Every structure is written in C-alpha cells, then in structure tokens.
Structure 1
Amino acid sequence: MATTDRAEFPGQMTQTSPRPAARRPATLQDVARTAGVSPSTASNALTGRRRVSPEALDAVNEAVRLLRYRVNGSARSLRTGATATMGLIAPDVTDPFYAEMVQSIERDARDRGWSVILSDSGFDPEREAESLRHMAATTDGVILFSTDPRRAPLSELPADHVPVVACDEPIQAAGVGAVRSDNFGGGRLAAHHLVDAGGTRFAMIGGLGRLATSAERREGFLAGLRDRGVDSDRVLVVGREYGLDGGRAAMRELLDVAPDTDAVFAPTDGQAIGAMFHAQQSGRTIPDDLQLCGFDGIIWASHLSPALTTVEQDRRAMASRAIDLLLGMIAGEPAETVILPVRLLAQGSTRVGPRPA
C-alpha cells in the first residue's frame, strides 16, 4: 500500500507562542523530537495504546504543552476506545482462498465492533513491507498473510511495534502470534488417500514454491507415501509458481517428463485446478487416467467437473482464532501459536466417492 506525505497548510504564528518558528502546526514527529523520544513512544504516550516510562510520559506531555500540539480525533478515539481498527495484508485478494479468508476476517471483526483496513501485497515482499510499516503506524494491530516469511519484514519495524499475527504462513520472529493449519498432517492425509485410492506412480506439482506452507505440505506428502511403503525418492516434484497458471505449467512439465503418472498432489487448490484443466485438455480423464488432490477446500473445488478432492482448511476457525489472538495481544496478552486440524474431502477427482473423512 503506497503512502504519501500529507501536505501541511501554513499556520499563523503568534508572538506569545513558545514553540519554534514554523509555518505549520506541530506534528507528532515534532513532539517526539522535542521530548527526546521515538515517534512510536510519543504516539503510545498520547494514545495510551502501550505503556511508556513515567519519564517519557512527562517529557511528551511537556513537549505537547510547549508546542501546543493538538491530538487529532483518530488518536483521541484510540485512547478512549471509541474506535478500533486492525490491518489485514493478503498476497492476492482475487485468489479464492485469500478472498474467502478476507471475507471471514472482515465479517468477524465487524461483528466485534472493529474496522479492517485491507492491503493486497500482490505476492511482492516490498509491497508487503511497505504496507506493514504503514499499518503499524495507523492501526491497533495487523493480521499478516506473508508472501515471503524468510525476509522477516517485521525486522524493519520499531521494537515496540503494534501486535502482529501471522496467518496461514509462519514467520520466524519473536513476539509474533501465529494461526495456521496442520500443513504437514494435511500432506500426509493426501498421500494416504491417493495410495488407498489405487495410485501407483506419484508426483507433486507446485511443491517447490517459496512459501513455508508448500514445503510443509510437501514433506507431509512424502512422509505419508513412506507410511504406505512408497519410495519417496522416486516421487517427482515439479513447479514453483502459484495460482491457476502455475498449476497448468507444472502439469504440462509433469506430463512431458513422466506421462505415466497417475496420482498427483498440489499444495493449493488453485494449482490443482490449473493442473486439472491442462490434464483434461491433454486428453487425460480424471480420475480414470489421473487422480488429483489439492489443498485448501475453497468453494470452487466442489463446483468443478469432476469435483476436486482436497485437504480442507477450517477457514472460519482460522479467521476467528486470528482475531482472538490479535485482540488478546492488543490487550497485553502474550503471543502464541495455534495449529488447526484439517480434514480430507474426497470428491470426484479421486476414485473414492464423495464423502468427508
């Protein structure tokens, strides 16, 4: 989310004003500079959002008096609790999984009296970091679907930044809450199902993607194959791009190098759907020639022909727990990690009939 500096209109100076000569109203940065503290500490002292030392509080109050700084309405509402806003950063709001998560989070937050500011990072780590910096300064807390957790955008924030909850993707950073699904266990479920459904030559598409969830689901899938006596070293893993196009490209590569593959797992439903389209266009019949299992449980999965077998995440529970955790952290509770169970939804893209398991 791009941010721009707001232009300040010239202010009229009076002879009796003890504040430094300036042609604009005092800003929070002026208060912080005069008090000898960081802008975030000055903000916390004025809003009461986080505790500051008595010395810092006195210095900020004295700077406010000297500069005749006026706290704006939004800061005052934060201090009194009259309004509450959380930030939400997602990689792609057109992707069905993220779209459903955004809808669930916004609806749940609204029911609790909170507003949500949304930013679409476009799978761009720089945009994600920029949005996070902006939201850390303008909201009470942030729910983050990270595009590249290895970059740790939180390292660019002040040490006393607002609470952050990593949703779906883990972030290796102290003090960050996390809510995600049992990705390893879900990959293992997919493997067991494909073996039990009669698969003999296995592959995974999209398993080389940069997100941690892809790696966790890949490792779970390979472990599940080993559980059933399949040599995981012989399993082909191709493709790293996400979405429908990523799935199409990975399936094209797979059928070129291993046309006899008859059971495929994809770490997201979007990739699985793209793979299904390409396989069907290439003359493969699903599930007779090729069985296919995705991961997410998006609404689209049940409206395909055949319906997609998938490992279903509990999206509503993930949204609710993320908000629970964020609000608790805003209230001063410690961060924690929540792992949610998943379930296999067997449908028409595998040879086991449609029934939840």
Structure 2
Amino acid sequence: MANDSPTNPIQSHKGRGAVSNLAGRFVDQVSTRESDGWQLEPEVPERLETVALAEKAKTIIATNKSPDLPFSQSINPYRGCEHGCIYCYARPAHAYMDLSPGLDFETRLFYKPNAATLLEQALRKKNYQCSPIALGSNTDPYQPLEKDKQITRQILETLQRHQHPLTIITKSQLILRDLPLLTEMAQDNLVHVAVSVTTLSNELKRKLEPRTAGPAARLRTIEALGSAGIPTAVMAAPMIPALNDMELESILASAAEAGAIYAAYILLRLPFEVAPLFRQWLAEHYPERAEHVMSLVQQSRGGQDYQSEFGQRQRGTGVFAQLLQQRFRVSCRKLGLNERKLALDCNRFFLPPQPGDQQSLF
C-alpha cells in the first residue's frame, strides 16, 4: 500500500515529539516532498490536530511470557499516545495499521470504548487465573485522551469490583483523579503505581516528552500517591547515554524524597522505526552530540542500534551499560529503595453474582 503522507520535510512541530511522518516498515511505496526551487518563503507547517477514533476491540487482556517483564498480562486502553515521547517503543505498532510510527502515532489515536465490558467477560471465564494486570505497559493509560474517554477509569472500577490486583505506570498527573479509588484498593494490597521520571530538566522534557507533565509535577504525583498509602515506584526510563544518564542519581534521590519506595530503570530501546525517528530527533534538537549519543548506544547494543534478546533489551551490554547498572544499584542501596518485595494479593479475587446466576445452597 502506498503511503501518501510525505516523509519530508524533517522539522519539529510545537507540542510534538517526532520530526517526520516516517513510513512504517510494511509500506511498499512512499512519497516525498521535494523543493523545485521556485518557492521563495519556507512553508509554515500546519497545526497538527489530534484525531481520536473508536476501535471495537475483540479482546482486552494481552498475555506474555517474556522473562524480563514483571507481569504476565496487561491491558492497553489506547493505541498511540499524545504524549509524543520520541523514544516510545510502542511507536512501531502503528505500522500494523498502515500509519506512521512518527507523527501519526501522536496524532491518530485509537480508544477502546468496550474495554470494561470485555474485561468483565474475560474475568468471568471458567478458566481465568488471577494474576496482576499491568496498565500502561505500552502507551500511557492516563494520556490526555483519558480525561474525556475515561476508559482507564472504567477498567479500574471493574477490577475493584472483582478485587483484582493491578499495576499502573504513567507520566501523568491525571492519575490523581482516581486517588480515592486507588487508595481503597491499596488498603487491600491490590495496586502498585510507578511514575516515570525521565529527566529533571524542563527544557529536555519539552523536547523529549512534549505533552507530558513536568518533572516537578511528577514528583508531586509520587508524593500524593505515597501519602495516600499507595506503594509507589519511580521509573527512571529511558536512560539515554550522554543525554540524561547523568541525572540517574538525582532522579532517584528526588523520587525517594517525594515518597517512592521502589525504583527501576531501562536503557534506551530503539526497535524498528524508533531508531531512525530518534536519529532524526537528535539531528534536529542536539546535532552537536548526536554522533556521541548513538556511539554510546551502539557500544551498549553489540554495535547495533538495538538488540531485542531477552535479558539484554532492558539493560544492554558493555562497559557503559554495566556502569549504569552499578550506579543504579549503589543509589538504591544508599536511598533505601527496593528494600522489600511487593507482592499483590490475588486471593481476594471473586466474581459478584449477576442476574440469572445460580445461587449457592450454602
């Protein structure tokens, strides 16, 4: 299928992360925009509006057997993400819909209005086995679209009704909308939240994650969650060599001071189309250090932009990756992070009776 979206010109758009609509890997033909020399003034880029489309999902719980992921099942209420984080490893999924993992990923969003209904049906299957469900494993469940659609809220209400455990990872203050509900679930040991803090620099945040909450707002979110008794982690991710890796200790210390009791980190991942998109972004925003950043990335990925093997994709290999891991461990030990293991309660799960259900005789 031909892709009518031009791959050029490469330039930044206010409030957007990607600097092009790079064609997905399944597209056979692409069109490009070339100058014929007659245009005297550069074109003013049109404002990129966000379009939200309903997707009638057939299933809602995704399962995985990845040994380096801390969950076996997850729910993603949305496809695409308006936050616009240039490094997002979920970007390549848009290629399966003949859309660009670049700007399309940030502006052509899909929501699942039947998510709660599908979840209810899945939980009532006779062979269902309860284990914590992860929200936010792909795109942020509290991205701006959630304020209007409230798909994540409906999922939370369904899980609470069934006393089902879950984990959440987000960059958004919008999670505080659901603080009363999450507090109740935490009292029953049913929820754990991780807040992603990539940088403490507002300038870098605006370029790297243009439509996300600022660093100070995320730390306040950690504080509010922790004060409510909700076990809260900081996710220092991704760590990008020569761009934000020098902030690792500061991020962990600030989060611990705010009330985080757990921490994790991930080395920058650049699967499929994310690698060329990230290279374009570097050339646009940090041309003076682009070569150095990618050199360190490749030193940590066996000479490539990315390695997908389990056990390596999250942490990398080589001297830089080993040093980053050592720094993380030392900081956590000094700050008292990760001192106790979190084990959510799966024994509370039950199925409320529905009209027509056979009642117990005892």
TM-score by length of 1: 0.31
Higher relative contact order (CA 8 A, sep 6+): 2
* Structure that is richer in helix per residue: 1
- Return the index of the structure with the highest Cα Rg: 1
TM-score by length of 2: 0.31
